[in-house]
Amino acid sequence: MTHVVDLTEAAAFRIKEMMEHNEEQGAFLRVSVNGGGCSGLSYGMSFTHDKEAADREDLQHDIPIVVAEEDAPILMGTKIDYKQSLMGGGFTIDNPNAIANCGCGSSFRTATKQGTPENC
C-alpha cells in the first residue's frame, strides 16, 4: 500500500509522546497543506478526533493518520522525520513534489499549486 506521507520511527516516537502529553490518545494525526508562508504553501500537523468522509486514512507505527483528499496529491511521497540536535529538536518534512522551499523549511510550492505567498 502506498502511503500519502511516511512517518519515520523517530517522528512516530515523538508524536506518540506528544499525544500522551496532550491527552490525545485515540486521536488522528492530521497532516495538511495550508496557504501562506514565504513560498505560498505551508505544512500543518495537528491532532483531531474528527475524520471527514473524503479523508484518506492510514495507520503507521500505531498512529492513525488522516489527509484531506485535496491535499493528498500535494503530499504524496512526503517523509516526516524528527531530528534532535544540541539546539533542540523538530520535525523535518521532505516533500518530493516541492519545487521551491523557504529557508524556514515549512513553506513550499509545487509545480501545480502556487498557494498564496506572504512576506517573510
Structural domain including 28 reads 5-94
CATH number, domain of 83, equals: 2.60.300.12
Residue 114 lies in a domain: no
Q: What is the pTM of this model?
A: 0.80
**6 near 78, Cβ under 8 Å?**
yes
pLDDT of residue 30: 97
pLDDT at residue 37 tops 90? no
Q: Phi/psi of residue 98, each to 5°?
A: -75, 130
Please give the mean pLDDT across all residues of the chain: 85
For residue 14, how many other CB atoms are within 10 A of its CB?
20
Task: Give the pLDDT confidence of 67-100 residue by residue, as tens digits.
Answer: 999 999 999 999 999 998 877 888 989 989 887 6
Per the structure, the count of domains in the chain is 1
Q: Which residues pair with 28 in a beta bridge?
A: 48
Cell of 7: 512517518
